[in-house]
Structure 1
Amino acid sequence: METERRSQLLLNAVKDYAIYLLDTAGFVVSWNPGAERFKGYTADEIIGEHFSRFYTPEDRATGLPMRALEAAAAEGKFESEGWRLRKDGTRFWANVVIDPVHDEDGTLIGFAKVTRDISDKKEAERALFRSEQQFRLLVQGVRDYAIYMLDPDGNVSSWNAGAQAIKGYTAEEIIGTHFSRFYIPADRDRGEPAKALHTALIHGTFEKEALRLRKDGTTFWAHVVIDPIYDDAGALTGFTKITRDVTERRRAQEELDTAREALAHSQKMEAIGRLTGGVAHDFNNLLTVIRSSADLLQLPNQSEEKRQRYIAAIAETADRAAQLTGHLLAFARRQPLEPETFAVGDRVLGLERLIITTVGSPVRVEVEVADDAGCVTADPNQFESAVLNIAINARDAMPDGGVLRITARNVTHVPSVRRHAAVDGAFVAVDISDSGTGMDAETQGRIFEPFFTTKAVGRGTGLGLSQAYGFAKQSGGEIGVRSTPGHGSTFTIYLPRAAAAPTAEPLTPAVLRHALPTQRVLMVEDNEVVGRFARTLLEELGQTTTWATNGESALRLLEESNGGFDLVFTDVVMPGISGIDLAKEVERRWPHCRVVLTSGYSHVLAEEGNHGFPLLRKPYSLDKLMSVLGVAPAAKLAS
């Protein structure tokens, strides 16, 4: 009795399940509160009634209630889901379990029936099903994207209309085949399909643009995204693959790039035309001086004083021509620099007297150097030229006088200059400020172009600022300008700060002249005029000189003499064996021979030092050549 009482209390406490008993014919013999809550009947209303009243008319018509009892009796259990009726006639989705009940002798005495209202679960499933259907319709309706799935091995397991439109295959043709068939043969041979899946697994996604194949064998540019798919347990179930045909976009981009290249080429040709005109103008002026001086030297009865004046004019004009070439190369970042580590403050202070003399008395020069202004590794001569060129421009911007202020300081930030990104780091900044006329935005956008000048004809070449620009950029730095019309301008040169100590001053040619050794020199030069001149110079300096006109003949002379030369002085750009290749062969076979290269070709000069040999730039002076001859054989030249 106590056990039955406890069981009844337990059944009465259950509110989420309808738990009740049926007799063998299906009539209700017990009823718990959960059954009353689900179905709406009280125990008095339902006990003694047949349980089939809970079924829909359709299910009753098919005899489902009795078949359920028969199945439970025969199989030991019946379970199903379906619509059931409440007292008020509304329906709910029920999970039903019917178990047979036997007495001690094993005789069937009825059935235990447990029902649960799972309408919410059913509605969620239906909502999910509707969502999946809508998503499936959405995917199938997309025609601009190929959206399909792969199994873990890369075989196609679904196929939308966009995939058929882009690739040409129907679903029946492609499902079950490997997605590698869309790759061009070269990519398949390189294993690109497997790499794509591997990348998706490792990084969570794979994205790329590449050529893909259509069914008809034609190719198209595809933007491809592959993502792995995992189930709730974290196991890989396959991949989603989205492909878009971007052929038209790429074609449009290529056309745009072509148009940009054409525009850039047009602008380049315009700049070259302006550049060529400026170079021709300046060089013709210089050549006029040289030619006139040479003609005057040939006149009879010239006094020694005049001859020396004409010779000095030729030498000075040649230096100016070399300087003009250097300015052009500096703008193109092809200027061969001779870097040294020097203290910027010392150089700026050392320029003060020269700048004061250059700008003249109407301009007041103020120089301020921070005590901690650091060192840089750059070409000191080019640095001084850059500062002096900007100072001269500042003077011209102050025709009635003004203030020129030059400062040097350490900075840790280079601001954005000419739309370049700002840079953090250790730099030395040199500011050159004036109180002059200033510049508008259009002028500031062109001031670093070669031969661009706002000065009157004959007052400037337009190369000063381009030299400063080229020097700063080639030295790993930057140059910026701030200016407002009527309020002056400030140019700032930024150079990377160096940790090393300043470089020691090299020996001067005057010192070397007193101890110039006599050496056996093999000179290699393919230009006859330059060769004759260089051989004369070397012989005048007391050198035993042999002239070879190309690398092949130089090697023969070295072989015949078993490397019997102290110095091989060779041009770089020659037909056949180049000077660099010759130098490497000499270094390998006759290591006792010192090699010095010489060239005036900008490409070679821009790569100075990459070959590992000293390089003497053309045009070279007597002092420079003496420096080459006076350095000990084991030394390496920087010039």
Structure 2
Amino acid sequence: MQAVIVQVIIMLHAAFGCMFLLMNWQHPAKFSRLIAQSWLLEAFRAGIVYAELDRTGGFSHWHSLSDCLNLVATWWLLAGCADLVGARLPAKLGKFYIGIGSGVILALRYLAPPALESAGVAADQAIRWSLLVELVLIFTTVTIARVTILVWFIGLWRRTRRPGTLPAIVFGVPYIAFGLAVPWQFYFGYYPEWIYLGWTLRVLGFSLGLVLLLSDRQLVALRASEARVRRFIESNIQGVLICNFRGQISDANDAFLRIIGYTRADLLAGRINWQNLTPPEWAELDRRVIDELRTRGLCMPWEKEYFHKDGTRVPVLVGVAMLDDQRSEESEALAFVLDLSDRKKAENRIRHLANFPELNPNPVLEFAADGSLLYQNPAAEEMLRRLGQDRIEKMLPAEAGQVVTQCLSTGQPRLRLVTKHGKHTLSWSFYPIRQQQTVHCYIGDVTERTLLEAQLRQSQKMEAVGQLAGGVAHDFNNLLTAIIGHLGLLQNGPALPPEAQDSLAEIAKAAGRATNLTNQLLAFSRLQVSSIQPLDLNEVVTNLGKMLRRLLGEDIAMHLDLAPGQLVFNGDAGMMEQVVLNLVVNARDAMPAGGSLRIATNSERRPGREANVSAEVASWLCLSVSDTGTGIPPEILPKIFEPFFTTKEVGKGTGLGLATVFGIVQQHHGWIDVESEPGLGTTFRIFLPQQHVTLNEPSGQVRLPAASGRGEVILLVEDEPAVREVGVKVLGRQGYKVLAADNGRTALDLWSVHRDEIALLLTDVVMPGGVSGLELARRLQAEKPALRVIYTSGYNREVAGDEEAMRQGMNYLAKPYEIERLFLLVREVLDGPVTPATIRPAGS
């Protein structure tokens, strides 16, 4: 009967040990592994007991092994139960317990009996007492361990009321009792069958309790694990979904649903399939991924796109892994989906920002905080090649390092540091990027802008000087008008002695030279009286041919290279002749030892150059005058158009020649380019707006001598006393009655008295007092449409006033004028018809 019971005990320990191993294999845990090891070891010990049943007492090596294994099994059981209730026993404690216990067992088994025999104890008694002490020591420690397990289980029952703790506690009491009874069973030799039966029940009950505890613990752990997985899936910022190979999605978190724009109701209704979410062009890649997944159970993440519910596409990064080892269509692709929309936008932004410096036509640099160069774009490299440099560092402003440090410390940019490199001028602007501790630098080639600014400053200076010169010339013209008028009175008066006649002739020459001088000043200031009409540039040059050859002399060869056909522009013939003459005279003076002069004309299409000319491409006429003379030094070239600037000796030049050319060209809405090198000559190029018209042959007109007045009343309005006085005298001698006024207000007073008598208004245009000559004429003609008007001024018509009301050669007389010209114009206007052009309503 004992043998049968021991066999049952062996089978129970083996069965429960295997059960615990199965639990550990399904859900690996330390406590299930330790208890499985303990129960299987107990099964082995029971087998040893079964083998020794026919022996009672005495010495046996198998008993020694059984007792040592009992220590190991007890420790594993103790450690497993401790882990089951959440405690952790240190591994060193187990090594100490097993090591010391095994040493004591072996000492008592093999060393104590001989020692007792040497002390005079009988051999069988020595073995008996040694085994008794061994069993007391071993089962005392085993009992302590089993009591500890029982205490843990009691506490676990109080805390959790888990079902498995109760049978473990109930059957743990006999488990402890049987441990205490083993030494005394040996001492008294008491081995009844009921003890083995109780041992069987104890093993069965305690094992069932552990099984229940382990099952409950593993179920709780499984539920906790599933809860953790669920929390992981739901709280994951990435999209997570579970699907099979057919594309059916069984579960997905909210992050994935947000990515594709669907709701959980759509998911539960089966409206979402990952294959339908994939655009067609990604299907082949998905098939390759599925093949890899079937083979390896996982695959590397790959980029693709999903359809959003609204039809748009969402770039994503997908990674998948199998949840089991099956490869059927029903197997479940735990998939992680990362929305790449923001990253793609950032990448596009980065590419955009990277393209900005790379494709920027202007040089771009980046400096580190220590001033070292980190980056230069292709435009900077192209600039280096263009300027013949090999390194950008050689071209940096001297204070570039300090500027970088200052920009980063203050956060403020430093703009427009200018450096010169040969003929090129560069502008450097530094912008701090404090977050990256770098400074960006943008380089601009401002060579052309600098030249244009210099030209603008020169033009403004010339404009200011021109206004001054024009004002002086205007006042001087008034004086010359008085001088020439009195000179005419003297010359047309009674006969004078020859000496006086000679003096008057010299005075007339001086007045003529003074008139030319004032005309040059007015031409420079663009205030010269001009007669603008369509002209042929070739004809202007050709008409001056003989005169130019006489000016140049025999040592200078002149070549005309004129473009075929008519080159028509709007201009003043006298002014343009003056331009050509001044340039030719300058060229002659630059070739004292002789040389060659070339005058050429042509037409070309190009944009304008001056501020008052449109920058659009248009047709321009070019008049070029080239010489082989001494040339102009570079330091003098910017000053050549300034009035009164000359390099000639005193008395050989006024300094107004080129200034006059500049003013005339500006007045004709053109510009001048100059190229010159010392020793190689100079070329002036004048550009004028071309007119696409054809000129007819001019018809000559013959002027008759002016007749005397017939007592007509003339209202003379002139603010300059000398001019007013001479006008009264010369017109009075010619047979006219003259009423003189110094301004418009006085003239209106005289008009109110002599309205019916006055036949002609001779008025200066620009006058003080608030009423100009034009305004005065309008008022008077409004009251008397038959009134004739002659305008006079020292300014050109554009400055003086309305060009339509003042027609050159018809009712406009430019100062200074000869008295014969005055007499002729007065007679022509009085005898001619009243034209509508001279009748203007008041206020128009």
TM-score (norm 2): 0.42
The aligned counterpart of 1:626 is 823
**Rounded Cα–Cα distance in structure 2 between residues aligned with 1:61 and 1:478:** 84
Q: Which amino acid aligns with 2:619?
A: A
**Against the structure 1 CA distance between its residues 98 and 129, is the aligned structure 2 distance closer, same or farther, given a 3 Å change threshold?**
closer
The aligned counterpart of 1:580 is 774
- Give CA-to-partner distance per residue, 1:7-37, whole Å, 9 cap, x none: xxxxxxxxxxxxxxxxxxxxxxxxxxxxxxx
Q: How does 1:24-423 map to 2 (within 5 A)?
A: 57-58=226-227, 93=253, 116=273, 127=339, 268=461, 304-413=497-606
Q: CA deviation at 1:562?
A: 3.6
Coordinate RMSD, CA, aligned: 5.0
Query: 1:593 and 2:787 equivalent?
Result: yes
**Against the structure 1 CA distance between its residues 418 and 398, is the aligned structure 2 distance closer, same or farther, given a 3 Å change threshold?**
farther
The aligned counterpart of 1:10 is none
**Against the structure 1 CA distance between its residues 621 and 127, is the aligned structure 2 distance closer, same or farther, given a 3 Å change threshold?**
farther
**Rounded Cα–Cα distance in structure 2 between residues aligned with 1:579 and 1:270:** 26
The aligned counterpart of 1:231 is none
SS of the residue 1:616 aligns to: strand
- Give CA-to-partner distance per residue, 1:302-346, whole Å, 9 cap, x none: 973322222122222223223222222222222231113333323
**Rounded Cα–Cα distance in structure 1 between residues aligned with 2:463 and 2:713:** 50
Task: Answer whether contact 1:374 1:428 (CA < 8 A) is retained.
Answer: yes
Task: Answer whether contact 2:774 2:801 (CA < 8 A) is retained.
Answer: no
Task: Answer whether contact 2:793 2:800 (CA < 8 A) is retained.
Answer: no
**Rounded Cα–Cα distance in structure 1 between residues aligned with 2:345 and 2:541:** 78
Q: CA deviation at 1:450?
A: 1.0
**Against the structure 1 CA distance between its residues 419 and 347, is the aligned structure 2 distance closer, same or farther, given a 3 Å change threshold?**
closer
**Against the structure 1 CA distance between its residues 502 and 454, is the aligned structure 2 distance closer, same or farther, given a 3 Å change threshold?**
farther
Q: CA deviation at 1:512?
A: 4.2
The aligned counterpart of 2:724 is 531
The aligned counterpart of 1:616 is 813
**Against the structure 1 CA distance between its residues 116 and 412, is the aligned structure 2 distance closer, same or farther, given a 3 Å change threshold?**
closer
User: Unaligned stretches of 5+ in structure 2?
Assistant: 1-221, 245-249, 258-262, 278-300, 307-313, 318-336, 348-452, 839-844
**Against the structure 1 CA distance between its residues 611 and 413, is the aligned structure 2 distance closer, same or farther, given a 3 Å change threshold?**
same
Report the more deviating stretch, 482-491 or 404-413.
404-413
Q: Which amino acid aligns with 1:436?
A: G
- Give CA-to-partner distance per residue, 1:36-90, whole Å, 9 cap, x none: xxxxxxxxxxxxxxxxx9998228999x9xxxxxxxxxxxxxxxx9956689xx9
SS of the residue 1:357 aligns to: helix
Q: CA deviation at 1:270?
A: 13
Q: CA deviation at 1:91?
A: 9.2
SS of the residue 1:511 aligns to: coil
Q: CA deviation at 1:373?
A: 3.0
**Rounded Cα–Cα distance in structure 2 between residues aligned with 1:474 and 1:395:** 26
**Rounded Cα–Cα distance in structure 1 between residues aligned with 2:581 and 2:720:** 36
**Against the structure 1 CA distance between its residues 116 and 569, is the aligned structure 2 distance closer, same or farther, given a 3 Å change threshold?**
same
Q: Which amino acid aligns with 1:440?
A: P
Q: Which amino acid aligns with 2:817?
A: Y
The aligned counterpart of 1:245 is none
SS of the residue 1:394 aligns to: helix
The aligned counterpart of 1:520 is 713
**Against the structure 1 CA distance between its residues 419 and 520, is the aligned structure 2 distance closer, same or farther, given a 3 Å change threshold?**
closer
Task: Answer whether contact 2:745 2:771 (CA < 8 A) is retained.
Answer: yes
Task: Answer whether contact 1:341 1:500 (CA < 8 A) is retained.
Answer: no
Q: CA deviation at 1:523?
A: 0.8
Task: Answer whether contact 1:328 1:463 (CA < 8 A) is retained.
Answer: yes
**Rounded Cα–Cα distance in structure 2 between residues aligned with 1:333 and 1:610:** 16
**Against the structure 1 CA distance between its residues 336 and 398, is the aligned structure 2 distance closer, same or farther, given a 3 Å change threshold?**
same
Task: Answer whether contact 1:372 1:409 (CA < 8 A) is retained.
Answer: no
Q: CA deviation at 1:605?
A: 5.6
**Against the structure 1 CA distance between its residues 592 and 398, is the aligned structure 2 distance closer, same or farther, given a 3 Å change threshold?**
same
Query: 1:477 and 2:670 equivalent?
Result: yes
**Against the structure 1 CA distance between its residues 55 and 378, is the aligned structure 2 distance closer, same or farther, given a 3 Å change threshold?**
farther
Task: Answer whether contact 1:427 1:495 (CA < 8 A) is retained.
Answer: yes
**Rounded Cα–Cα distance in structure 2 between residues aligned with 1:546 and 1:419:** 44
Q: CA deviation at 1:383?
A: 1.0
SS of the residue 1:462 aligns to: coil
**Rounded Cα–Cα distance in structure 2 between residues aligned with 1:430 and 1:445:** 21
Task: Answer whether contact 1:327 1:463 (CA < 8 A) is retained.
Answer: yes
Q: Which amino acid aligns with 1:306?
A: E
SS of the residue 1:558 aligns to: helix
Q: CA deviation at 1:382?
A: 0.8
- Give CA-to-partner distance per residue, 1:417-476, whole Å, 9 cap, x none: 899997643343322222211223333322111111121121111111111111112112
Larger strand percent:
1
- Give CA-to-partner distance per residue, 1:202-228, whole Å, 9 cap, x none: xxxxxxxxxxxxxxxxxxxxxxxxxxx
Q: Which amino acid aligns with 2:727?
A: A
**Equivalent pairs: percent with the same residue?**
31
SS of the residue 2:640 aligns to: coil
Task: Answer whether contact 1:551 1:579 (CA < 8 A) is retained.
Answer: yes
Task: Answer whether contact 1:414 1:422 (CA < 8 A) is retained.
Answer: yes
**Rounded Cα–Cα distance in structure 1 between residues aligned with 2:342 and 2:550:** 90
The aligned counterpart of 1:243 is none
Pick the structure with greater CA Rg. Answer: 2
Q: Which amino acid aligns with 1:467?
A: T
**Rounded Cα–Cα distance in structure 2 between residues aligned with 1:452 and 1:574:** 34
**Against the structure 1 CA distance between its residues 264 and 131, is the aligned structure 2 distance closer, same or farther, given a 3 Å change threshold?**
same
**Rounded Cα–Cα distance in structure 1 between residues aligned with 2:755 and 2:467:** 53
The aligned counterpart of 1:489 is 682
Task: Answer whether contact 1:598 1:617 (CA < 8 A) is retained.
Answer: yes
**Rounded Cα–Cα distance in structure 1 between residues aligned with 2:563 and 2:269:** 99
The aligned counterpart of 2:396 is none
Task: Answer whether contact 2:529 2:795 (CA < 8 A) is retained.
Answer: no
Query: 1:568 and 2:761 equivalent?
Result: yes
Q: CA deviation at 1:597?
A: 1.9
**Against the structure 1 CA distance between its residues 270 and 473, is the aligned structure 2 distance closer, same or farther, given a 3 Å change threshold?**
closer
Q: CA deviation at 1:403?
A: 2.1
**Against the structure 1 CA distance between its residues 418 and 357, is the aligned structure 2 distance closer, same or farther, given a 3 Å change threshold?**
farther
The aligned counterpart of 2:85 is none
Task: Answer whether contact 1:476 1:495 (CA < 8 A) is retained.
Answer: yes
**Rounded Cα–Cα distance in structure 1 between residues aligned with 2:517 and 2:668:** 19
SS of the residue 1:570 aligns to: strand
What is the aligned counterpart of 1:511 among 695, 699, 704? 704
Report the more deviating stretch, 112-121 or 379-388.
112-121
**Rounded Cα–Cα distance in structure 1 between residues aligned with 2:743 and 2:636:** 49
**Rounded Cα–Cα distance in structure 2 between residues aligned with 1:504 and 1:309:** 39
Q: How does 1:436-447 map to 2 (within 5 A)?
A: 436-447=629-640
SS of the residue 2:544 aligns to: helix
**Rounded Cα–Cα distance in structure 2 between residues aligned with 1:388 and 1:574:** 38
Task: Answer whether contact 2:668 2:688 (CA < 8 A) is retained.
Answer: yes
**Against the structure 1 CA distance between its residues 92 and 464, is the aligned structure 2 distance closer, same or farther, given a 3 Å change threshold?**
same
**Rounded Cα–Cα distance in structure 2 between residues aligned with 1:495 and 1:452:** 25
**Rounded Cα–Cα distance in structure 2 between residues aligned with 1:404 and 1:420:** 30
Q: CA deviation at 1:399?
A: 0.5
TM-score (norm 1): 0.54
Query: 1:501 and 2:701 equivalent?
Result: no
Q: CA deviation at 1:484?
A: 2.2
**Rounded Cα–Cα distance in structure 2 between residues aligned with 1:550 and 1:418:** 37
Q: CA deviation at 1:514?
A: 5.4
Task: Answer whether contact 1:373 1:409 (CA < 8 A) is retained.
Answer: no
Aligned length: 415
Task: Answer whether contact 2:608 2:615 (CA < 8 A) is retained.
Answer: yes
**Against the structure 1 CA distance between its residues 346 and 542, is the aligned structure 2 distance closer, same or farther, given a 3 Å change threshold?**
farther
